[in-house]
Amino acid sequence: MCGIVGYVGKRNAEDVIIEGLSKLEYRGYDSAGIAINQNKDTIAYAKKKGRLSILENFLKEMPLLGQVGIGHTRWATHGEPSDCNSHPHLNENGTIAVVHNGIIENYMEIKEMLIAEGYTFKSETDTEVIVHLLDKYYKGDLIEAVYTTIKQLRGAYALGVVAVNHPDELVAVRKESPLIVGLGDEEFFIASDVPAILKYTRKVYFLENGEVVHIKDHTIKVYDENKNKVDKEVKTIDWDIEAASKSGYDYFMLKEIYDQPQAIKDTLLRRLDKNRIIRLDDIRMTKEQLEDVGKVYIVACGTAYNAGLVGKYAIEKLAQIPVEVDIASEFRYSDPFIDEKTLLIVVSQSGETADTLAAMKLAKSKGARVLAITNVVGSSVAREATDVFYTWAGPEIAVASTKAYTAQLVAFYMIALDFALKRTTISSDKYNELIDKIESLSELVAQILDGKEAIRSIVKDIKDTKSAFYLGRGLDYMTAQEAALKLKEISYIYTEAFAAGELKHGTIALIEKGTPVFCVVTQDNLAEKMISNIKEVKARGAFVIAIAKSSNLEISKVADDTIYIPEADDLLMPILSTVPTQLVAYYASLERGNDVDKPRNLAKSVTVE
Ligand code: AGP
């Protein structure tokens, strides 16, 4: 997804912007560009297709000196990745420059209107209409031109704007796309995400939809969409920049897999009071309100959706409330049954996923209560929700979600236990037992990580396969789905997850001699059934790798290889069974020479539909 960085201050803006953009690389991009206001007749700019390093090398030869500027990493939506389609975009005489994250839905009609008025377009992007509109409406007051322009736009946009006639000014806008402001000492930053500015300041404004920022004469003013001045609260970021760097690991993904014991602890322990009762401070649902809930949906995308599958299981089992889980992009167009008695639980690591946001807005508009599970404080999802559960997993940079997933599972277990207590569907003994067991997960995950070399050697044997499968039953099928997504996402091995009982209804036809089949076997009541399924696929030539509880000695007699994991309550096993599958995906990607953290065609945060 596109990344924006802007700067106004005393430093060399090019350095600040390039450094900031490098911290946004995790969002995924295909080109990068920069525009600097040098107090000349036109804005100086450079933009290059490809990695940020290409732009950096170009700038080494032709530096753009100046103290006010905007930069951008682009993830193509309208028009192929190319120098020309990269941002910034400038008006015809080069006096105004714009960077944009999001999609302008009505750009075709605006473009036709502008062409009819004599404007010519250089790029295929939707963004270019913005800069021509600014040109059209600019009458000496930049902020007025911005307001008039955004009135014409439909869609999602975070914008950064500079103009030659305003050498120490920067205007920024946020509407449905993330944008924050960093506050330094007589210097200001705009950025799509916090890591871009952490080197310079920890003080930020989280912008709301429709807010317009005007940086001028070493001061900053924020206005709402009706041009009323807004008094923003300064938030202090308390996580360290180290937390957003690799800390010595080769890849962010590996670091984040290793962050999990801490992430699990942080997400759980900070919410247990001295009597070990869960305190969900940002969830204000009373017992009565919970009793009044008629329907619960869990809605999310990708890995967050897979967490929701486990969440459904936990809430239904512990709190005895029926739950439906849906993919956000399906839910929003399915005319779902929603009323004032509906509770919608949305899950989103980034808190900025467009479909998830749209689903929650739809539910809110029909009167539903929305509970968000998110990892990003101040994110759009968090701000739109009635109740919020923050997973305290720390920033997740690798495109493949790992620690966010296990932290989301902890969140669901805690929410399910909290609901169960309120609905008196759990005994205090069972409650205490489960809290103890959740607490011990952190240590058990660390033990699994100690066995990473054995997993690596299993992966070496199967790394050249064209396809692979994951099988499971019950909660193990949920793990299988997340495991398959992870493996295909970063290794590019075609991988599917199947409910093991479905094999003979068609899918077993896919098994050939040597096909790797990972079988997740952690549910005691289903273990025997899984052994039969393992025999079935082995009889068709599959190479079976089982992931099983350490007590299950039968498994190693039937599987070709077994990854043993420690024991926990069956309900909690998805946290443990997922960890080896993350390592399988990581090593498969590594062995196949892929870019582990930035898999092809993917972006960390999907902020467009
Ligand atoms: C996970 O590995 C993915 N990259 C992806 O499925 C992700 O979980 C999905 O895009 C949802 O993102 P979110 O949690 O930030 O909403």
Question: From the alpha carbon of 374, which atom of ligand 1 is closest?
Answer: 14
| Same domain membership, residue 414 and residue 374 | yes
**Nearest residue CA, atom 6 of ligand 1?**
302
CA of 402 to the centre of ligand 1 (A): 10
Confirm whether 452 is a catalytic residue: no
Q: Is the pLDDT of residue 242 over 70?
A: no
CA of 265 to the centre of ligand 1 (A): 22
**Catalytic member of 2, 23, 175, 488:** 2
Query: Within a domain: residue 609?
Result: no
Which DSSP helix (H) or strand (E) runs through 604?
none
**Nearest residue CA, atom 9 of ligand 1?**
302
Please report the pLDDT score of residue 243 as a whole number: 64
Q: What is the pLDDT of residues 120-137, one digit of tens each?
A: 999 999 999 999 999 999
CA of 102 to the centre of ligand 1 (A): 18
The C-alpha atoms of residue 318 and residue 417 are separated, in whole angstroms, by: 6
Please report the pLDDT score of residue 244 as a whole number: 62
CA of 301 to the centre of ligand 1 (A): 6
Query: Within a domain: residue 58?
Result: yes
Residues 562 and 555: beta-carbon distance below 8 Å: yes
| Same domain membership, residue 430 and residue 396 | yes
Question: From the alpha carbon of 605, which atom of ligand 1 is closest?
Answer: 15
The C-alpha atoms of residue 255 and residue 248 are separated, in whole angstroms, by: 8
The C-alpha atoms of residue 112 and residue 370 are separated, in whole angstroms, by: 40
Question: From the alpha carbon of 604, which atom of ligand 1 is closest?
Answer: 4
The C-alpha atoms of residue 363 and residue 367 are separated, in whole angstroms, by: 7
CA of 450 to the centre of ligand 1 (A): 26
DSSP 86: S
DSSP class per residue in 297-320: EEEE-HHHHHHHHHHHHHIIIII-
Final residue of a structural domain among 196, 216, 238: 238
Q: How confident is the model at residue 287 (pLDDT cuts 50, 70, 90)?
A: very high
Q: What is the pLDDT of residues 538-549, one digit of tens each?
A: 999 999 999 999
Give the residue carrying structure tokens 């200001």.
188
Please report the pLDDT score of residue 271 as a whole number: 86
Please report the pLDDT score of residue 276 as a whole number: 85
What integer is the mean pLDDT of 496-507?
Answer: 93
* Pocket test residue of 75, 299, 306, 353 for ligand 1, highest count of atoms within 8 A of CB: 353
Residues 173 and 190: beta-carbon distance below 8 Å: no
What integer is the mean pLDDT of 326-345?
Answer: 95
Q: Is the pLDDT of residue 42 over 70?
A: yes
List, in sequence order, the alpha helices (H) in 38-141. Answer: 52-61, 107-116, 128-137
**CATH number of the domain that residue 396 is part of:** 3.40.50.10490
Sign, CA torsion 237/239/245/250: negative
Compute the C-alpha angle 402/572/349, nearest 5°.
Answer: 30
**Nearest residue CA, atom 16 of ligand 1?**
348
Question: From the alpha carbon of 400, which atom of ligand 1 is closest?
Answer: 2
Residues 580 and 563: beta-carbon distance below 8 Å: yes
| Same domain membership, residue 124 and residue 201 | yes
Which DSSP helix (H) or strand (E) runs through 409?
helix 403-422
| Same domain membership, residue 478 and residue 344 | no
Strands (E), 192-284: 203-206, 211-216, 219-223, 229-230, 235-236
| Same domain membership, residue 165 and residue 60 | yes
Final residue of a structural domain among 220, 238, 256: 238
Q: Which of 505, 445, 494 is nearest to 470 (CA)?
A: 494
| Same domain membership, residue 151 and residue 12 | yes
| Same domain membership, residue 36 and residue 183 | yes
Which DSSP helix (H) or strand (E) runs through 237?
none
Residues 395 and 243: beta-carbon distance below 8 Å: yes
Comparing 383 with 223, which gets the higher pLDDT?
A: 223
Reduce the DSSP state of residue 569 to 3 states and report it.
Answer: coil
What integer is the mean pLDDT of 273-282?
Answer: 83
The C-alpha atoms of residue 312 and residue 322 are separated, in whole angstroms, by: 8
DSSP class per residue in 7-53: EESSS-HHHHHHHHHHTTGGG--SEEEEEE--SSSS-EEEEEES-HH
What is the spatial order of strands in the sheet that 369-374 belongs to? 323-327, 295-300, 342-348, 369-374, 387-390
Comparing 378 with 289, which gets the higher pLDDT?
A: 289
Q: How far is CA 190 from CA 16, 52, 146, in A?
A: 11, 19, 16
* Pocket test residue of 606, 608, 609 for ligand 1, highest count of atoms within 8 A of CB: 606
Please report the pLDDT score of residue 16 as a whole number: 98
Q: What is the pLDDT of residues 347-364, one digit of tens each?
A: 999 999 999 999 999 999
* Pocket test residue of 1, 252, 303 for ligand 1, highest count of atoms within 8 A of CB: 303
Q: How confident is the model at residue 245 (pLDDT cuts 50, 70, 90)?
A: low
CA of 585 to the centre of ligand 1 (A): 16
Question: From the alpha carbon of 404, which atom of ligand 1 is closest?
Answer: 14
| Same domain membership, residue 45 and residue 158 | yes
CA of 546 to the centre of ligand 1 (A): 26
The C-alpha atoms of residue 200 and residue 11 are separated, in whole angstroms, by: 11
Buried b (16+ CB within 10 A) or exposed e, 287-319: eeebeebebbbbbbbbbbbbbbbbbbbbbeebb
CA of 373 to the centre of ligand 1 (A): 13
**Nearest residue CA, atom 8 of ligand 1?**
303
| Same domain membership, residue 117 and residue 219 | yes
Comparing 276 with 471, which gets the higher pLDDT?
A: 471
Question: From the alpha carbon of 602, which atom of ligand 1 is closest?
Answer: 4
Q: Which of 460, 396, 400 is nearest to 588 (CA)?
A: 460
What integer is the mean pLDDT of 186-193?
Answer: 95
* Pocket test residue of 251, 350, 589, 609 for ligand 1, highest count of atoms within 8 A of CB: 350
**Catalytic member of 23, 312, 486, 604:** 604
**Nearest residue CA, atom 5 of ligand 1?**
302
Residues 177 and 102: beta-carbon distance below 8 Å: yes
| Same domain membership, residue 210 and residue 151 | yes
Which neighbouring-strand residues pair with 173?
A: 159, 212
Question: From the alpha carbon of 381, which atom of ligand 1 is closest?
Answer: 16
Residue 276 zone, left/alpha/beta (φ > 0; ψ -120 to 50; rest): left
CA of 351 to the centre of ligand 1 (A): 10
Question: From the alpha carbon of 402, which atom of ligand 1 is closest?
Answer: 2
Window from 272-281, 435-444, 498-507, 515-524 with minimum mean pLDDT? 272-281
290, two tokens? 């919970």
Which DSSP helix (H) or strand (E) runs through 419?
helix 403-422
**CATH number of the domain that residue 89 is part of:** 3.60.20.10
Query: Within a domain: residue 608?
Result: no
Q: Is the pLDDT of residue 572 over 70?
A: yes
Final residue of a structural domain among 238, 262, 286: 238
Query: Within a domain: residue 598?
Result: no
Residues 512 and 541: beta-carbon distance below 8 Å: yes
| CB burial of residue 466 (10 Å; 0-12, 13-18, 19+) | exposed
Reduce the DSSP state of residue 341 to 3 states and report it.
Answer: coil
**Nearest residue CA, atom 10 of ligand 1?**
302
Query: Within a domain: residue 525?
Result: yes
| CB burial of residue 484 (10 Å; 0-12, 13-18, 19+) | buried
Residues 229 and 239: beta-carbon distance below 8 Å: no
CA of 347 to the centre of ligand 1 (A): 10
Query: Within a domain: residue 601?
Result: no
Q: What is the pLDDT of residues 192-238, one digit of tens each?
A: 988 899 999 999 999 999 999 999 988 999 999 999 999 999 998 87
* Pocket test residue of 26, 253, 301 for ligand 1, highest count of atoms within 8 A of CB: 301
Please report the pLDDT score of residue 534 as a whole number: 96
CA 498 to chain centre: 25
The C-alpha atoms of residue 71 and residue 31 are separated, in whole angstroms, by: 11
Q: Which of 42, 605, 140 is nearest to 357 (CA)?
A: 605
Residue 155 zone, left/alpha/beta (φ > 0; ψ -120 to 50; rest): left
| Same domain membership, residue 445 and residue 456 | no
User: Domain range for residue 111?
Assistant: 3-238
Residues 345 and 308: beta-carbon distance below 8 Å: yes
The C-alpha atoms of residue 360 and residue 369 are separated, in whole angstroms, by: 9
Query: Within a domain: residue 305?
Result: yes
Number of independent structural domains in the chain: 3
Q: How many CA atoms lie within 13 A of 256 on its CB side?
A: 25
| Same domain membership, residue 509 and residue 469 | yes
CA of 328 to the centre of ligand 1 (A): 12
Confirm whether 2 is a catalytic residue: yes
The binding-site residues of ligand 1, defined as CB within 6 angstroms of any ligand atom, are: 301-304, 348-350, 353, 356, 399-401, 489, 605-606
Query: Within a domain: residue 104?
Result: yes
